[in-house]
Amino acid sequence: MTEENNKEEKTAQSKEDQEKKPVQRPAARPRPRVKKEAPPPEPSPKEPLLAELVQQVTEKLGEQAIEESYVNQNGEHLLTLVVNRDHWAKLASLLKQEANWQYTYLQNCAGVDQQTYFEVVYHLYSLEHHDQICVHVKVDRDQPEIPSVVNIWPAANWHEREIYDLLGIQFTGHPNLQRILMPDEWEGYPLRKDYQPLDEGV
Amino acid sequence: MLRTEEMLLNVGPQHPSTHGVLRIVVKIDGEVIREATPVIGYLHRGTEKLAEDLNYTQIIPYTDRMDYVSAMSNNYVLVHAVETMLKLEIPERAEYLRVITLELNRIASHLVWMGTYLLDIGALSPFLYAFQDREKILDLFNELCGARLTYNYMRVGGVKWDAPNGWLQKVEQFITMMEKRMKDYHQLITGNEIFIQRTRGVGVYSQEMAIQYALSGANLRVTGLQRDLRKEHPYSIYDRFQFDVPVGRHGDLYDKYLCRMNEVEESLKIVGQALASFPEKGRVLGKVPRVLRVPEGECYVSIESPRGELGCYLVSKGKDKPWRLKFRRPSFCNLQILPVLLRGENMANLVAILGGIDIVLGEVDC
Amino acid sequence: MDWLFYIIGPILLLGIMLGFVTYAILFERKVIGWIQNRPGPNQVGPWGVFQTVADIFKLLTKEDIVPERADQTLFKIAPIITFVPAFLVLAVIPFTDRIRFADLAVGLLYYMAISSITTMGILVGSWSGNNKYALLGGMRSAAQMISYEIPLVMSVIGVVMSAHTLNLTKIVAAQNEVWFIFPQLIGFVVFLIASIAELNRTPFDLPEAESELVAGYHVEYTGFRFAFFMLTEYAYIFAMASLTTILFLGGWQAPFGWTFLPPLIWFILKFAVIVFLLFWLRGTLPRLRTDQLMEFAWKVLLPLALFNIFLTAVLKEVPWIQTFYR
């Protein structure tokens, strides 16, 4: 559970950052200061579920498979795994097929530029167990490659193309990895934080 | 032996039945489709990129432009995501107004679908009828928020405008009128032999396939799976209302039609209940900080838009602007199944199947 | 005097037909407007009476575009091939016992034969434009017109058997006691459906299915050439409604001996009912699919028409009933 503590520390730290900023400004902004006394979030009721999940995954794929795990307390307390890229393909098919998971429904798939690395975020849903899970996979920024999951969830097809289009992450094994929203001859990947817009003329 | 060859036909981006600027590259052999490839992106405006430079209130009008047929649900999904991150309490009256507008918008959206779908199939009149009824909803919205399509109505913490005097009575009148009109529609369309011939058993897919392709909304329910996010993960105050989730049995286009028409009736029920228990007084915009700084973290929320599961994935770094905002657009996801459905179909079924998916290009391309 | 009639008459008829087309289009738009809860055209002239005239002027003044990669000659000839038969068939239509042009002994056969030539024009026009949508529309059109011609002709045989003639004037004369719509009800229904299909109108408007093929066989045509295709379509409505009136509704004969109206008025009234029916259907029904259309022609209409011939032949021999079949 060290990861969990880390996460809490991180959020606490970020809160401090957030509160410092209004203080720096001369104008009176009392409201953020009131929030300062907000207690650290209570442990989620879903913590045991998370521990169970992590244990099952480590049993099957080994210690390195999960880099980090926490409960995202926003909304419906979403179990979140940060999965090692090399183990992702195996874990994905397990998540879909294993009887007590059966995450057959790929709700969403998004790419995020975290500046030092990329992240591909999968939101999976199990129609059998009415259960949702979030999987983050970190991708190296210099060599953005991640195994495609189209053969596991065909719905990922266009999502992956979109991520490739906007962030430039290569999905190895994708049947047709082409730009989908931007024109084919477009240069650069618009959703990267270091993207320089080309259209100076407008 | 006659020599036949395949013909490459570009349906769209300018075509009466692609509902916008969708292009489908079809290989046809006579009138039989051998292969179909949808090409999208003609309406890509980079909403997600633009959102990274805007604060949360400024993003709301941009969401209007995604699914412009039901802009209320787009408005809602964004403010819902922000509210989830901020853990805000929403005033009662605002929640009721949200539900009423969301459901009215669902009715309007389904009416547009029904009208244009029958137009695709070749019937002219239902289109006009549907648009006349939708017009009444747009008039109601116009009175409420000053816009007919791009509402910009929801705000983080509530809604922008309270219902003007007499507005709720007008909604009530509309509900009574619409209930009668539904009977007319059933008389005109539901039993029409040609319509049944055109849609029964066409564009069928199994439940497994629907799940594999992550279809949502009526496209998923038509296979018999009862998944409606309003019931399954009730957001806003949907858990207070009694309504059914209509499902289909055959997974064909006719069932889709019935599903959507029944959904309209369910929406009418919800609005009726909401009007009955509408709070007399109260604020419509809760107490929110003037500058919205969403705490660091992420969240994914999803709601049942008329087209399916409309999701919003929000990553914040504690600034007043989102770090990353991704919309899970139901039209985009549902459209993926099109090539599979079209293979081996008749050319005339192309428009019927495409229409049945119910896409809005603003949302597909985002 | 006769030769004067033969020169002026057709010109007059052309004028009448153009007038009909102009106001049929207005009437159609008005009827569909009423069906759809809206006023229809009402801006040009009082009650919109000059709307179609304005539309025709617009078409006349438009640029005449011939696609660069089209087959120039065929592209230009096609509208003519399409329109000429539509006008030729009017020659044998007797509007009353005196207003008629050619009293051919094989009038009915002439009508059926000449009207098929139009298919050729449509096919040529669709192919020469070098457009894929037009080609699809043209192929559909050819398939549909040829398929539906068979039940159309077959359904009329019952009438011919009863009237003992192919001459249209005599067919009307044979109906002075009872209209053929009653003894030949099956024939009438088959004829009506097949004629709607021949006219390419809803629910059989596949060749110009707007939502599928953009506009069908005349996608590439502009201006006056396009107007010719539209003119053909409405000229056929004129001809087909006249033919239906003559074959099944007793032509110019007054029902119940109500001869207080002149024969021409009766003809126009019956004719108007058929035209209205066509417009009414357009406001109500969706469109069939190609394969369903073909199946319907070959598996439903044709057997029905054959059955009707058989039935007529049998009933002609049954005592008392045979009086209705002569």
- Is the Cβ–Cβ distance between B275 and B269 less than 8 Å? no
Q: Do residue B300 and residue A155 have CB atoms under 8 angstroms apart?
A: no
Chain A positions touching B46 (Cβ under 8 A) are 190
Chain C positions touching B121 (Cβ under 8 A) are 211, 286-287
Where residue A138 sits, what CATH number does that domain have? 3.30.460.80
Scanning every residue of chain B, which has its alpha carbon at the shortest distance from the alpha carbon of C208?
B122
Chain B positions touching A121 (Cβ under 8 A) are 298, 313
- Is the Cβ–Cβ distance between B129 and B189 less than 8 Å? no
Q: Do residue C290 and residue B31 have CB atoms under 8 angstroms apart?
A: yes
Q: Do residue B16 and residue C32 have CB atoms under 8 angstroms apart?
A: no
Confidence of residue A199 (pLDDT cuts 50, 70, 90): low
Q: Which of C29, C125, B365, C222 is nearest to A181 (CA)?
A: B365
Report the gap between the CA of B260 and the closest CA in chain C (Å).
Answer: 19
Q: Which of B7, B42, B350 is nearest to C131 (CA)?
A: B7
Q: Do residue B302 and residue A14 have CB atoms under 8 angstroms apart?
A: no
Tokens representing B33 are 């489709």
Scanning every residue of chain A, which has its alpha carbon at the shortest distance from the alpha carbon of B312?
A108
- State residue A34's pLDDT score: 46
Domains and CATH numbers, chain B: 6-365 (1.10.645.10)
Q: Do residue A75 and residue B214 have CB atoms under 8 angstroms apart?
A: no
Chain B positions touching A183 (Cβ under 8 A) are 41
Which residue type is seen at C249?
L
Which residue type is seen at A102?
Q
Residue A86 lies in a domain: yes
Scanning every residue of chain C, which has its alpha carbon at the shortest distance from the alpha carbon of B349?
C289
Q: Which residues of chain C have pLDDT under 50?
A: none
> Across residues A141-162, what is the average pLDDT?
89
Task: Domain count for chain A, please give it.
Answer: 1
Q: Do residue B7 and residue C202 have CB atoms under 8 angstroms apart?
A: no
Using the CB atoms, write b or e for A145-168: b if 16+ within 10 Å.
Answer: ebbbbbebbbbbbbbbbbbbbbbb
Report the gap between the CA of A42 and the closest CA in chain B (Å).
Answer: 14
d(CA B145, CA A86): 51
Identify the bridge partners of residue B252 per DSSP, sorted by sequence position: none
Which partners does chain B have (≥3 C-beta pairs < 8 Å)?
Answer: A, C
Characterize the bridge pairing of strands A170-172 and B7-11: unpaired
Other C-beta atoms lying within 10 Å of the C-beta of residue B126? 25
Q: Do residue B198 and residue C286 have CB atoms under 8 angstroms apart?
A: yes
Confidence of residue A2 (pLDDT cuts 50, 70, 90): very low
Q: Is the pLDDT of residue A33 over 50?
A: no
DSSP letter, residue B246: -
Tokens representing A196 are 């320089």
Chain B positions touching C285 (Cβ under 8 A) are 122-123, 192, 194
Confidence of residue A20 (pLDDT cuts 50, 70, 90): very low
ipTM attached to this prediction: 0.87
Residue A80 lies in a domain: yes
Q: Which of B46, B293, B328 sits opposite A107 (nearest CB)?
A: B328
Residue A167 lies in a domain: no
Which residues 116-145 of B are in CB contact (within 8 Å) with C?
Answer: 118-125, 128-129, 132
Q: List the single best residue of B9, B128, B181 to mutate versus C (max C Cβ within 10 A).
A: B128
In B259-307, DSSP assigns E strands to 297-305
> Chain A within 8 Å of B49 (Cβ-Cβ)?
yes
Tokens representing C219 are 């996608």
In chain C, DSSP assigns E strands to none
- Contacts (Cβ under 8 Å, ≥6 apart) of B167: B140, B143, B144
Sign (positive or negative) of CA dihedral B193, B194, B198, B199:
negative
Identify the bridge partners of residue A125 per DSSP, sorted by sequence position: A105, A132
> Chain C within 8 Å of B344 (Cβ-Cβ)?
no
> Across residues A77-106, what is the average pLDDT?
86
> Chain A within 8 Å of B293 (Cβ-Cβ)?
yes
Report the gap between the CA of C298 and the closest CA in chain B (Å).
Answer: 17
Q: Do residue B128 and residue C37 have CB atoms under 8 angstroms apart?
A: yes
d(CA B285, CA B75): 15
d(CA A13, CA B11): 55
d(CA B63, CA A142): 33
Report the gap between the CA of C273 and the closest CA in chain B (Å).
Answer: 21
Residue A23 lies in a domain: no
Residue A60 lies in a domain: yes
Chains C and A lie in contact, requiring 3 or more CB pairs less than 8 Å apart: no
d(CA B108, CA C149): 44
Q: Do residue B299 and residue A78 have CB atoms under 8 angstroms apart?
A: yes
- Is the Cβ–Cβ distance between B123 and B195 less than 8 Å? yes
User: Domains of chain C: which residue ranges?
Assistant: 1-57, 62-324
- Is the Cβ–Cβ distance between B337 and B205 less than 8 Å? yes
> Across residues A126-143, what is the average pLDDT?
88
Which partners does chain C have (≥3 C-beta pairs < 8 Å)?
Answer: B
Scanning every residue of chain B, which has its alpha carbon at the shortest distance from the alpha carbon of A135?
B300
Confidence of residue A76 (pLDDT cuts 50, 70, 90): confident
- State residue B176's pLDDT score: 92
Scanning every residue of chain B, which has its alpha carbon at the shortest distance from the alpha carbon of A10?
B296
Q: Which of C18, C81, C22, C77 is nearest to C51 (CA)?
A: C22
Q: Is the peptide bond before C203 cis (omega within 30 degrees of 0)?
A: yes
Domain span holding position A58: 47-143
Residue length, chain A?
202
Q: Is A81 exposed, middle or buried (0-12, 13-18, 19+ CB in 10 A)?
A: buried
d(CA B90, CA B84): 11
- State residue A47's pLDDT score: 81
Confidence of residue A41 (pLDDT cuts 50, 70, 90): low
Q: Which of B7, B9, B17 sits opposite C211 (nearest CB)?
A: B17
Scanning every residue of chain A, which has its alpha carbon at the shortest distance from the alpha carbon of B313?
A110
Report the gap between the CA of C174 and the closest CA in chain B (Å).
Answer: 37
In C166-274, DSSP assigns E strands to none
CA distances from B318 to B80, B294, B326, C273, C321 (A): 17, 5, 17, 73, 93
Chains B and A lie in contact, requiring 3 or more CB pairs less than 8 Å apart: yes
Q: Which of B164, B176, B178 is nearest to B97 (CA)?
A: B164
- State residue C168's pLDDT score: 85
DSSP letter, residue A42: P
- State residue B106's pLDDT score: 92
End-to-end CA distance of chain B, in Å?
49
Please give chain B's pLDDT, 366 residues, in tens.
667 778 888 887 888 877 888 888 999 887 888 889 999 888 888 888 888 888 888 899 999 888 888 899 999 999 999 988 888 888 888 999 999 999 999 999 999 999 999 888 888 888 889 999 999 999 999 999 888 888 889 888 888 888 888 899 999 999 999 999 898 888 888 888 888 888 888 888 888 889 889 898 889 999 988 888 888 888 888 888 888 889 888 888 899 999 999 999 999 999 999 999 988 888 888 888 888 888 888 889 999 999 889 999 999 988 888 999 999 999 999 999 999 998 888 888 888 898 888 888 888 887
Chains B and C lie in contact, requiring 3 or more CB pairs less than 8 Å apart: yes
- Is the Cβ–Cβ distance between B218 and B357 less than 8 Å? no
